[in-house]
Structure 1
């Protein structure tokens, strides 16, 4: 993706006020030629960065959100109170719900670790919440929040695994010997790529020793973080490798990327096996 087109998408995201699921609808209408999964990934990356700066679990934030919730319930407002509060305070519905749960059960579960564990369980299974009104409000948040809901977490994990299976099958079709991440960790490696090839392959003149699957869009910031926290360790230990950003990437990242790294958005067809 060209930088200019990415900039237009980001401009639309930053200018939108509302739920991210509605923002995605706007993006798909405005950029019909771009894959929906790509737009969602770009939106998700930007929104999560925004939440890192905006969301806080300080006592004042917790008390404020809980007081607003209690006032709305006391006034008999219609269902969807927490969702409306999340929009007014510009945080994700499930994060707003978490603040309310932390306050609701702080006296009952006075141990911090127990409180955090139980709140996480309540977000995953609202039937555990003894307050029926609050339980329904939290349940609505899990339905409308397409970024921080536990349902979304499960879906992201599943999608990531599906793309790893695609690579696994391709390597087997080519008759290539390889070790997966689980096997490498058993050997004691702390940072491991998804696939380490026993015998390297060659793609476009570059000898490839490992492959990393990323079911996300590769923008400059996330790619830079991956290099720092993952890729640099891989190529220092194993040599050059291939990274597949299945939902596309900004073309400019290939210009600044080390020659030890090849960037693609699908499995290359011109794979040469080495003797």
Structure 2
């Protein structure tokens, strides 16, 4: 789905009042019913990450961490059946998963006389049952489950969705009988930085030649697209020629302005592919 920049800003402004919990998606969908939930979740995630980067330093201050930890201990004791860690996160406008990380780290500092590794901390966040304190383990699990932007559960979901769309892209290419090399095949050949797909025989889409295709299971906003251009897309263009990027959850329509320079944006697999040889695919 293409969204003009003005409409994107309207959605972004609305997200400023939301917290990264599962309930926020219901509110977004009710406010913007014409957009898919996947698109709205991707936009919210992008905007919340920007918000977090602006404020994270104050939450990592030692006095702030101590205040969060002591408040958690007090409220968890007073209200053992309440999701106090989740409530604190929403109140201070911090990702529940990130607050859980701060609290578990502070808990480990108190419990262990020797230094602990990040691996131990990460394992506990991925599997809260490893936390010796059962109430804290339950609160951490609540934060992980309810956070839609950060945390090990979100990381797993994003990874799975990314792989799912790469498989979808390859299925579409095979349906068209197009010959291609995927990222794994390219790495075997010695390429260190590659797009998801290199077409062995280029195609044309809407009058533009395409040598490579990059799959992004996300929404393309100004910041992320500019980052991808600088860190990925232009290097692909330099090495392999013009290509196409598919933002499966849509993008800001004004960003599709590099076609003449060799980078085409789409929000789905194109149906109007022209091949070099009609027998190799649809024309």
What TM-score do you get using the length of structure 2 for normalisation?
0.90
Q: Aligned equivalents of 2:53 and 2:195: distance in 1?
A: 26
Q: Does residue 71 of structure 2 align to residue 68 of structure 1?
A: yes
Aligned equivalent of 1:240:
242
SS at match of 1:208: strand
Shift in alpha-carbon separation, 1:274–1:155, aligned structure 2, 3 A: same
Aligned equivalent of 2:280:
none
SS at match of 1:266: coil
Equivalent runs, 1:202-241 vs 2, <5 Å: 202-241=204-243
Q: Does residue 15 of structure 2 align to residue 6 of structure 1?
A: no
Aligned equivalent of 1:190:
192
User: What are the superposed Cα offsets for residues 121-165 of structure 1, whole Å, 9 maximum, x if unpaired?
Assistant: 111111111101111111111121111132222111111111111
Matched residue count: 272
Q: Aligned equivalents of 1:132 and 1:175: distance in 2?
A: 55
Equivalent runs, 1:115-126 vs 2, <5 Å: 115-126=117-128
Per chain length, whose mean CA-contact separation is higher, i.e. which structure has more relative contact order (CA < 8 Å, sep 6+)? 2
CA contact (8 A) 1:254 1:263 kept: yes
- After superposing the two structures, state which structure 1 stretch, 130-139 or 181-190, moved more: 181-190
User: What are the superposed Cα offsets for residues 213-261 of structure 1, whole Å, 9 maximum, x if unpaired?
Assistant: 0111111111001101110111011000000001111111013666210
User: What are the superposed Cα offsets for residues 11-31 of structure 1, whole Å, 9 maximum, x if unpaired?
Assistant: 2111x1444423221111111
CA contact (8 A) 1:105 1:115 kept: no
Aligned equivalent of 2:129:
127
Aligned equivalent of 1:41:
42
Aligned CA RMSD, in angstroms, stands at: 1.8
Cα distance, 1:110 vs structure 2: 3.7
List alignment gaps of at least 5 residues for structure 1: none
Q: Aligned equivalents of 1:3 and 1:239: distance in 2?
A: 28
Aligned equivalent of 2:32:
31
Q: Aligned equivalents of 1:139 and 1:54: distance in 2?
A: 24
Deviating 4+ runs (over 6 angstroms): none
Q: Aligned equivalents of 2:50 and 2:21: distance in 1?
A: 13
Q: Aligned equivalents of 2:123 and 2:85: distance in 1?
A: 18
Q: Aligned equivalents of 1:228 and 1:172: distance in 2?
A: 30
List alignment gaps of at least 5 residues for structure 2: 278-283
Cα distance, 1:74 vs structure 2: 3.9
Q: Aligned equivalents of 2:214 and 2:165: distance in 1?
A: 10
SS at match of 1:55: helix
Shift in alpha-carbon separation, 1:93–1:258, aligned structure 2, 3 A: farther
